[in-house]
Amino acid sequence: MWRRSFYLIVFLLSLSFSPALANNLPDQDSDGVPDQDEINIYHTDPYSRDTDQDGYSDREELLHGFSPHNSKPVTLADNDQDGDGLSDFWELRFKTNLVVADTDGDGINDGQEIEAATNPREAGKVKLPMRLDIVLSRQELTYWLDGVKFKQFPVSTGKPSTPTPTGHFKVVAKSLKAWSKPYGLWMPYWMGLDHGQFGIHELPIWPNGYREGANHLGKPVSHGCIRLGIGPAKYLYDRVDIGTEVNIYK
Ligand SMILES: [Ca+2]
Ligand SMILES: [Ca+2]
Ligand SMILES: [Ca+2]
Ligand SMILES: [Ca+2]
């Protein structure tokens, strides 16, 4: 009987040691975060299980979304270790260095680069790939930057009698203030989409100066266009180039 228990204990011990090394990558401090990830991704100490010495290992902190660099209980989203204006949460997503303010050393901080949609990992003002996805049932526009779901804005799309078409489009024209002849109203920050007489723009302005209410956002009340609120419309207009992909889903 004792023999069986002995083998059982040996078996359990072997189990408890194997999962952390499941990927067989070197892990000097045995904290479950491989050396190469500590060095290249998280910039934690590969020789210390607990880089910030707060009693929680690097792995525990990362698993639960906390900063392994800050000894206070601060999440990655609320910590900006290098003070470059981009939280550690976004640094990990955009694969920038979370302890160096200017990853590519071109004089422009990571936070400014992401804000301007330029590549923070390549010197110079190289634009990052972007795409806009609109889901009509959710009345929501998602701004994807470099494959990262970066921002979401409420929209107002076409009412049932004048629905917004679904499909894959490209931005083919931009105008700071476009005039809609059929409806007799101004459409600020206009971004026209191909094979369709419609586009994305700010809440429209009637010739008498009346602005369609922000309370329309989230409700499909437009003539087919995708209306954005004051702020988000300019934000996207300033960053989106002609040729940008726009996908519209039901
Ligand atoms: Ca480690
Ligand atoms: Ca820690
Ligand atoms: Ca950084
Ligand atoms: Ca830079």
List pLDDT tens digits, range 89-130: 999 999 999 999 999 999 999 999 999 999 999 999 999 999
- As given in the structure block, the two tokens for residue 12 are 């359990």
Q: Give residues with Cβ within 8 angstroms of 14, minimum separation 6.
A: none
Whole-number Å distance, alpha carbon 100 to ligand 3 midpoint, is 5
- What is the per-residue pLDDT for 166? 97
Going from the Cα of 243 to the center of ligand 3, the distance in angstroms, rounded, reads 29
- pLDDT tens for residues 58-75? 999 999 999 999 999 999
**pLDDT at residue 218 tops 50:** yes
Question: Quick check: 181 pLDDT over 70?
Answer: yes
Give the number of the ligand closest to the Cα of residue 53.
Answer: 2
- At the topology level, CATH places domain 130-249 in L,D-transpeptidase catalytic domain-like (2.40.440)
Stretch 223-249: mean pLDDT: 97
CA 59 to ligand 2 centroid distance, Å: 8
Q: What is the pLDDT of residues 145-165, one digit of tens each?
A: 999 999 999 999 999 999 999
165 closest CA partner among 198, 190, 120, 124: 198
Question: By C-alpha distance, which of 105, 107, 78, 102 is closest to 90?
Answer: 78
- Compute, in angstroms, the gap from residue 119 CA to the centroid of ligand 4: 7
Ligand nearest to the CA of 112: 4
Spans of all domains in the chain: 19-115, 130-249
CA of 27 to the centre of ligand 2 (A): 16
Q: Ligand 4 centre from 68 Cα, in Å? A: 24
Inter-CA distances, 183 with 4, 13, 141, 210, 225, Å? 84, 74, 24, 14, 12
CB 156 within 8 A of CB 225: no
- Closest ligand relative to 120 C-alpha: 4
Extended strands (E) in the chain: 130-135, 140-145, 148-156, 167-180, 185-193, 199-202, 226-228, 245-249
Q: How far is the CA of 224 from the centre of ligand 3 (A)?
A: 41
Interval between CA 104 and ligand 3 midpoint (Å): 9
